[in-house]
Structure 1
Amino acid sequence: MNNWIKRNGGHLIVAAIFFILTYAYFLNPIMQGKILYQSDVLQAKAMQKEIMDVKEKTGHAPLWTNQMFGGMPSYQIWAKYGKNATTYVIDGLKGIFPNPVDTVLLYLFGAYFLFTTLKLSRWLAAAGAVAFAFSSYNFIYIEAGHANQAYAIAFFAPIVASIIMTLRGRYVLGASLTALFMAMEIRSNHVQMTYYLLLAIIILVCIELYHAIKSGLTKPFFKAIAYLFAGTIIAVLVNAGSLWTTYEYSKYTIRGKPNLKSETTAESAGLDKDYAYTWSESPTEIFTFFIPNAYGGGSSTTRGEDSKVAKSLIDKGVDAGQAQQLASQLPLYWGNKPSTNGPWYFGAVVFFFFVLGLIIIKNRIKWWLLGAVLLSVFLSFGKNLPFISDLFFDYFPLYNKFRAVESTLVIASLCFPLLAFLALNEVFENPDKAFVFAKAKLAFYITGGLTLLMIVLPGLILSFKGTEHQNLINALAQAFRGDTGMANSVANALVEDRQALERQDAIRTLIFIALAFGLVWIVIKQKINTTFAAIAVLAVVLIDMWSVDKRYLKDETFVSSDVLNQAYVPREVDEFIMRDKDPNFRVMDLTLGNPFQDSHSSYFYKTVGGFHSARLRRFEELVQNQFTKSVNQDVLDMLNTKYIITPDPKTGAASMHANNTACGNAWFVKSVKYVKGADQEMQAISSFDPQTEAMVDESFKKTVEAKTLGYDANGSIKLVSYAPEHLVYQTGSTANQVAVFSEIYYDKGWTMKIDGVEQPYYRADYLLRAATIPVGNHKVEFIFHPNSYYTGENISLAGSVLLVLALAGAAYSERKNKQPAKA
């Protein structure tokens, strides 16, 4: 034991520092028992309401929820995946550490593992880990509530480390760790982040292949690839349940193919391109990599009392208080993204060493890091660099399934500190100090000179005017009753405020670059040993990154639990609706702005609207065609919209009225009208009587007319038992009739039984279920039991066993190899 502590004492000290730093960052909120206020988490709380209520009552979380969009699978909202071993690892981390301490610790330890795998000293690896972990967007994602995204990013570094370990010849250990960390990555359930990581890994493998061919070492390379392939297969098996359900479901969401021919284009197999490119990085916005406020910071960034806008307004006779209020409302962020929580800041010190790495590093890993950075940066430009972005969007598999293309910069946020600290390691270890110093001076001239230019002449490169600048002037002129002179004065003052913010941060950056260069000079002059130099770099990097992160993920972001609970305090209308004992009606709430982009109402009752980025495409098409220009009452009726909430035009107060024409949970129709294709079906429901007629695609005609149809005006069908995954109806009729159920049609898991015998059902009215119910009294059941989940879970169990065996085998192999040979 003592020998183990002696061998690993340095790592334990680093680990202790990581814990101290993380808890210190969140010290005040933790001490006060506060919780991180995350808008996305609040949205998720409403999305999950029915799932969690059922889970608390029965112990089983349903795989379907009717809480939003009329009903949808809950795979991408909340699912347990209890036969996946990594589920318990993640649950354990979240149970031991308060949110978001667990995420930051994963950032730190994962990056530290990567840097030590690259043979950096412990303190240099620790400094590199801090540089990666405290990269601004790693904290901004936490602040925004993108918990799954942050977790996925945290496993980037250990996955890369495990792959490099395997390529270096430690096949069993490297492949086993690849399986573990890749399984954790996939379980984080953010396919977009995993996809971007795979793009970077493909570049790495291609460069390693080129080197293997060039050096005649193809045999060990392909052996390593075989091991990595086996490890990846295990990771996939471990996550079979989540991957299978996600793949199956994705084809029917807004990321799948359109059903309407009128919306089908060459690119329509995924998201709409304009939607996917909405959050595109401006080319010059990359200056935020080393000057955080180069583009005005975040959308909520404000200037203090020294605001030029406020001064301009005061000079025009506006009251000081009103001037400050108006100044705070004008956006300092001037990029062309609709909004942003903050900049992609990789650090001034990291930027200096990254440029030095481009100059001084000879290892082939530089070309991987440079290639990955360039690809991630170019792709982040989206609509601002369509030549490259469209190539990937149109031709690369799955790329068109993802939105917010600026997210590709997560790869750059890993590669920047990697190359930076490999460069610093070269400074420490290269015996040719004159050569190192010459290259360091060149890097200083480049980075310092560029930063100095951004201090002296920032307008030479940046305009500080957004694409909507003229529209802003027009709006100001209108607000100032046609005074265009005052509007232009305020707009010019806004530009000055933006320049002041940029200049202030550029000065800050120049100081940190100078400190970094000074540390290099001290090391080269041998005035300090490399250990103390690495610790000094760690301290400087921490101060640099910490101070920027605190602009976005700050103590004020945390609130007491009472504040979070107040986010879902029912209004009087909500309380009235919740007294309705009908188990499965819907509500249309028009007081939230766009009801299809907010899940708040879904916390209280089942809604027509909601919020989810993976909603069913058929429902999205229904919204676009039946609710965008005007609300189609017929469609509201068929969705059993029992209550409609509207805002008072004068006061904005919510008022509710009952919709007496709502069709109910299920009903018999007099007639069936056949239509050809989705376009005709959509057109047919634009104006029809859903209570008496059903619009059915002609592909279902044989199923509909398998029995001779009639109509019994006195026939009855009633929902007698409700659970999200199991609905039971009682019917009575003197004729074979078509029943329409106000439930979303999704045939990947739903089965219908009549008196315990499975029977066919079909789609009606574009997205509802319908079935031919035979004469007599019957028990009709709809049961959701998707094979993709349950069979996938059994595969996950087998994969989890293989993962445990692989890790145990790797541990045994490593221990055996370390034992001294017998004399």
Structure 2
Amino acid sequence: MGKRSKKKKKKLEPSPQKHFEFLPNPEKHAHWISLILILMLLAVYFYPVLFGNQSLLPPDNLASRSFRPYVEKALDDGEYPLWNPYIYGGMPSFASLSTAPYVDGVGLVLNTVVRIVTLNRIDPVTHFARYYVNMFLLGALMFLLLKRKGLSSGSALFGSVAMVFLPQVMAYAAFGHSTKLLTVALVPLIFLLLDYLLERRTLFLFCLTALVMGLQLLRAHTQICFYTQFMAGLYLVYWIVTRWKDKEKAGVLIHGAVLVMGAMIMGLLLSSVLNLSVWEYAEHSIRGGGETGGLAFDYATNWSFPPSEIATFFNPSFMGFGRETYWGPMPFTDFSLYFGLVTLMLAGLALALERNRTTWFLLILAGVALFISFGRHFPVLYGPMFRFFPFFNKFRAPKMIHIILEFAMVFLAAYGIDAVVRAAGNPGRHLKTVQRTLLVFGAITGFLFLVLLLGRGAYLNWALEKAGQYRFQAYDMALSDGLRSLFLAAVTGGAVLLALRKKIRPNWLPMILLVFMLVDVWPVSRRFMDFSPETKVDDFFRETPEVTFLKEQDGPFRIMQAADPRPANWYMYHGIQNVWGYQGAKVRIYQELADAFGIPDQFFQDYLTVEDGRLRFRRPDEIDPARMAVHEVFFKMMNVRYVVSPYPIPHPELEMIHMPGRQGENGLLQYRGGLDRVFFPRQVVPGRGGTGILRYMTSGMFDPEETAVVEGEIPFEIGDPSNNRADILEYGLHQIRIRAEISEPSLMVLSEIYYPAGWKMRVNGRAEPIVKADYVLRSVFLQPGTHEVEFVFEPPAFRYGLIVTLATLALLLAGIIAGGLRERKKQSEQS
């Protein structure tokens, strides 16, 4: 008997697919049709904002709008805003990524295009056009990537639209997370260039990849940039392993690795103007200070993705959709991380039908991202990375890496459509595989629906503790979405099987599934879209009577909010300095001070008590005098002159000078024992160790008017400061000039945040070190006489970063030109 020859499993062969057959030369026009369709779909989705005179008013959007007057005034005055005196008693603005005007190179180009197209009628910096254009850019680059991988125009269109309409991407617009969107928009292009670079290994592609990586870093969302670089590193490792298995020469592998790592390094250098300042600030912020050199593990992992919420991949409301209805383990959330059941099913079909190196990598990428996102719940990857991976412990909210998981799943879904269409040429070979895959997804979806249908009591019990009265709404949403998911699974599976059996034309399948996908995700993201009349924006920031009063007072001084419903950054819009604010990377020493003093959260609570189940203000004899003393210490040292509150707080030193006009308005309470921005304590004591200083300052025995706690040497004893005088000659963002007339040796304290990474001091033109006083303030020892003391904010990281960025940009542009000319010469020689 002869040997029976083994039949090799046939791979799916690519076949030309024409999805726009009503046009002459359809593939020539498919690209333009796809891009126009993306634009049109976005225009329809955001019609209320683009054409309906409405706006989105999420907290983060309003917070960013609060910065505009401050930034615009600085630029009008010829200053680039590096320091922000309006929140948290003052903090870095640029280094904390609060504001970074003119740094985003891609944004500058896109903004210019918008101005030209709209004849300068739209300012893309302030208008929603910024989101619209960057969503289109994300879709266009995703389409380009999928075409580069050999997928048909229909499959590429599906993938690009699915990427843009991911609920998480839509949430960037809904909640004002503009830098997340801007940064994510370049992820497909970086993957595309990385793939090209490893394949061709040319100077042109090296410089272009480095340029785009650097431009992404300049879009100012460091965490998503980190995840992108992590994806690139993972792809490099995967490429080396697979090529090594193919017996590729070691020189080629080393060359590829050097090029990719070199591109990463050059990208980092290109972003130096921003990231040198960011890295320098990290040491002084809550994200980089402390014993671990980063965030505390518990704080960093608060928003870890619970493994149980994988159920929301099949049913977006299985654990409540968000806000009041959410009952999962995270502290709270506004929406579930649903990316579409249609997309998920097609990704599964890709892995069943099209197991090539790209799909295997995408599976690995999605799996790694998912396990990292588990954070504290299953720290098999997150734990070691938090401890040992460079910079990883600077970031919070592990679930944010889901954007990389979703990118991989959308990528796979596009492969899945292509695989089904090509399998239609030989359905018998693949029919059982497709049926089994669809059956798995159908079974999971059906099982989750049955759990809801038959387990109402159990569900309501699970949700009771967190969702409370909203658990009934959560259940109704989950049941409704479960039924909807069953329908989507059925029609998606039916369309795939009909196309596979050629009951419908296979080339129609991408368009049919595109419609199903939009029906799937469109209404989900609409749930958290809060369209409001544009006039509400002006109304929101409208000047109130108390603001008018505050702006008329002589300064500088600060306010503190107490039970004020307005966001903390709201007052910055009006140029009023606040001891609190809204920013994710506060100065660490100030956060520690606020925590020790219980400011601002505990302040209002100290004057309340519960009687007969109702809140009421305490009587004077019921208020803890030690707590009142602590509050006064904070007011004095932080130059708090007014407390903004709708309530008459019963503190003996707080006088209500402006009553709220009606419900919802604020009153003003003036603190009668306040200190000026510059003051002279009567004695100085040395401080050793942060915890000990804070314990002393909150002990009830400390008064900043009498005593200053300094860290460092005390050069001489100070005398009676009663006859000293200090006048602020100039108070700007980056410069404070003070004329001090000193009668006795003294310590002059300036109620501004101590930040050694940028603030310098000159006394009578001579540089002197700033002395850290009262844990967070600046001070200087002065001998008798008249002195001019000047504080100047000149962070060297910004200056050096700008030089490195410009030099790197010049090198990369030169490399792109030289590499392009070399490739053109090669092509001409070959032809």
With normalisation by structure 1, the TM-score equals 0.85
Q: Is the 8 A contact 2:683 2:718 kept in 1?
A: no
The structural deviation recorded for 1:8 is: 5.0
Kept after mapping to 1: 8 A contact 2:560/2:640: yes
Match of 1:150 in 2: 181
The structure, 1 or 2, with the larger RCO (C-alpha pairs under 8 Å, 6+ apart) is: 1
Amino acid at match of 2:176: G
Q: In structure 1, what residue type is equivalent to 2:60?
A: D
Establish whether residue 246 from structure 1 lines up as the match of residue 245 from structure 2. Answer: no
Query: How far is 1:801 from its partner?
Result: 2.1
Is 1:600 aligned to residue 570 of structure 2?
A: yes
> Are the aligned partners of 2:301 and 2:398 in contact in 1 as well (CA < 8 Å)?
yes
In structure 2, how many angstroms separate the alpha carbons of the residues matched to 1:297 and 1:440? 31
Q: Residues of 2 paired with 1:118 and 1:778: CA distance? A: 69
The equivalent of 2:410 in structure 1 is 417
Q: Give the Å deviation of 1:730.
A: 0.5
Q: What per-residue deviation string (whole Å, max 9, x for no partner) do you get for residues 64-112 of structure 1?
A: 1110111111113544465774452354366566142112102201211
Q: CA deviation at 1:136?
A: 1.0
Letter of the 1:294 partner, please give it: F
After superposition, give the CA deviation of every residue in 1:606-626 in whole Å (9 maximum; x if it has no partner): 011111111101000001101
Of 176-185 and 456-465, more deviation after overlay is shown by 456-465
Q: Per-residue CA shift, 1:405-445, capped at 9, x if unaligned?
A: 22121111111111222232223335653232221111111
Give the direction of change, closer, same or farther, for the CA distance of 1:730–1:559 in structure 2 (3 Å limit).
same
Is this contact kept in 2: 1:48–1:78, CA < 8 A?
Answer: no
Task: Name the counterpart of 1:567.
Answer: 540
Counterparts of residues 510-521 of structure 1 (less than 5 Å)? 510-521=486-497
2:104/2:219 contact within 8 Å kept: no
Quote the offset at 1:142 in angstroms. Answer: 1.5
2:518 to 542, 558, 564: 542
2:594 to 594, 617, 623: 623
Q: Which residue of 2 aligns with 1:438?
A: 432
Does the 8 Å CA contact 1:83/1:793 hold for their aligned counterparts? Answer: no
Q: Are residues 1:688 and 2:702 paired?
A: yes
Identity of aligned residues (%): 24
Aligned match of 1:591: 563
What residue number does 1:376 align with?
369
| CA-CA distance at 1:812 after TM superposition | 3.8
Partner AA of 1:370 in structure 2: L
1:659 Cα deviation from its structure 2 partner? 2.0
- Mapping of residues 712-731 of structure 1, within 5 Å: 712-731=721-740
Query: Counterpart of 2:387?
Result: 394
1:798 aligns with 2:801: no
CA distance in 1, matches of 2:760, 2:157: 55
Distance 1:495 1:764, change over 3 A: closer
Answering whether residue 302 of structure 2 is matched by residue 293 of structure 1, we say: no
Which residue of the partner structure matches residue 353 of structure 2? Answer: 360
- Residue 613 (structure 1) aligned with residue 644 (structure 2): no
| Residue 256 (1) aligns with residue 250 (2) | no
Q: Does 1:73 align with 2:92?
A: yes
Aligned to 2:3: none
Query: Is the CA contact 2:460–2:475 (under 8 Å) kept in the aligned structure 1?
Result: no
1:613-662 C-alpha deviation (Å, 9 max, x unpaired): 11101000001101255453112201111112233269775332322322
Partner of 1:209: 240
Identify if the C-alpha distance between structure 1 residues 275 and 93 changes in structure 2 by more than 3 Å, giving closer, same or farther.
farther
1:821 is displaced (CA, Å) by 4.0
Q: How does 1:441-456 map to 2 (within 5 A)?
A: 441-456=435-450
Change (3 A) 1:10 1:138: same
2:47 aligned partner: 27
* Native 8 Å contact 1:132 1:414 kept in 2: yes
CA shift for structure 1 position 472: 6.5
Residue 558 (structure 1) aligned to one of 513, 522, 531:
531
For residue 688 of structure 2, what is the aligned residue in structure 1? Answer: 676
SS at match of 1:570: coil
Q: Aligned AA for 2:544? A: R
**Is 2:600 the partner of 1:576?**
no
Q: Deviations over 1:386-419 (max 9, x none)?
A: 4544333333332222222221211111111112
1:254 counterpart letter in structure 2? I
Correspondence 1:107 to 2:138: yes
Does the CA-based 8 Å contact 1:120-1:425 persist in structure 2?
Answer: yes
Q: Do 2:495 and 2:509's aligned partners in 1 also have CA atoms closer than 8 Å?
A: yes
Report the AA paired with residue 74 of structure 1. Answer: S
Aligned-partner residue type, residue 92 of structure 1: T
Q: 1:348 to 1:378 in 2, by over 3 A?
A: same
Displacement of 1:599 after TM fit? 2.1
After alignment, is 652-661 or 77-86 more displaced?
Answer: 77-86
- Alpha-carbon distance change, 296 to 708 in structure 1, aligned in 2, over 3 angstroms: closer
Partner residue of 1:228?
A: 260
State whether residues 70 and 607 of structure 1, in contact with CA within 8 Å, keep that contact through their aligned partners in structure 2.
Answer: yes
Corresponding residue for 1:464?
Answer: 459
User: What residue number does 1:9 align with?
Assistant: 29
**Conserved in 2, the CA contact under 8 Å of 1:234 and 1:799?**
yes
**Equivalent-residue separation in structure 2 for 1:817 and 1:108 (angstroms):** 33
Q: Please, which of 53, 58, 61 is the counterpart of residue 38 of structure 1?
A: 58
Q: Does 1:164 align with 2:201?
A: no
Taking structure 2 as the reference length, the TM-score comes to 0.84
Q: 1:736: how far off?
A: 3.5
Matched residue SS, 2:325: coil
Aligned partner of residue 559 in structure 2, secondary structure: strand
Q: Aligned equivalents of 2:525 and 2:819: distance in 1?
A: 39
**Counterparts in 2 of 1:221 and 1:116: CA distance versus 1, 3 Å:** farther
Contact 1:47 1:67 in 2 (8 A): no
CA distance in 2, matches of 1:19, 1:400: 38
Aligned to 1:317: none
Counterpart CA distance in 2 for 1:669 and 1:455 is: 69
Q: How far, CA to CA, are the matches of 1:51 and 1:771 in structure 2? A: 30
The answer to whether structure 1 residue 336 and structure 2 residue 368 are counterparts is no
- Give 3-state SS (helix, strand or coil) of 1:588's partner: strand
Deviates more, 1:647-656 or 1:434-443: 647-656
Equivalent residue, structure 1, for 2:796: 787
Counterpart amino acid of residue 247 in structure 1: W
Q: Which residue identity lines up with residue 620 of structure 1 in the other structure? A: Q
Query: Are the aligned partners of 2:500 and 2:506 in contact in 1 as well (CA < 8 Å)?
Result: no
Give the conservation status (yes or no) of the 8 Å contact 1:84–1:797: no
Q: Which runs of 5+ in 1 are unaligned?
A: 259-263, 300-330, 474-490
Amino acid at match of 2:66: A
